[in-house]
Amino acid sequence: MLDVLCAQQIRQDIAEGLPAGTRLAHKNGWVRGVRHGAAVIFPDDAPAYLLVVCTSRPVPDDQPSGRVDRSARHLVADISALVWRHRHDL
């Protein structure tokens, strides 16, 4: 299963917060107002770790969900980058 998740080609969310080339087994997804990601991250210089993030936000009927989704995607990437910076302390 890890091989299947490592082959994921949609490198958004958690993957966007990691340095290019970082190995990870991940699954991300979204529905209107909800964006989530889960990953096992394999740093070369620290033990592997698990990160799961789920966001939710109401989307008004008169507003396109794209802007809300983009904000959530960037938030997940920012959380991923923060955890990456502290990977030696996990």
What residue segments make up the domains of the chain, in order of their start? Answer: 2-89
Average pLDDT over every residue of 62-89: 86
- Record the tokens describing residue 58, joined without a space: 């109401």
pLDDT at residue number 64: 61
CATH T-level topology, domain 2-89: Double Stranded RNA Binding Domain (3.30.160)
Is the pLDDT confidence value at 65 over 70? no
Distance CA 24, CA 39 (A): 6
Read off the pTM: 0.86
Asked if 35 and 69 count as a contact pair (C-beta separation under 8 A), the reply is: yes
Distance CA 86, CA 6 (A): 22
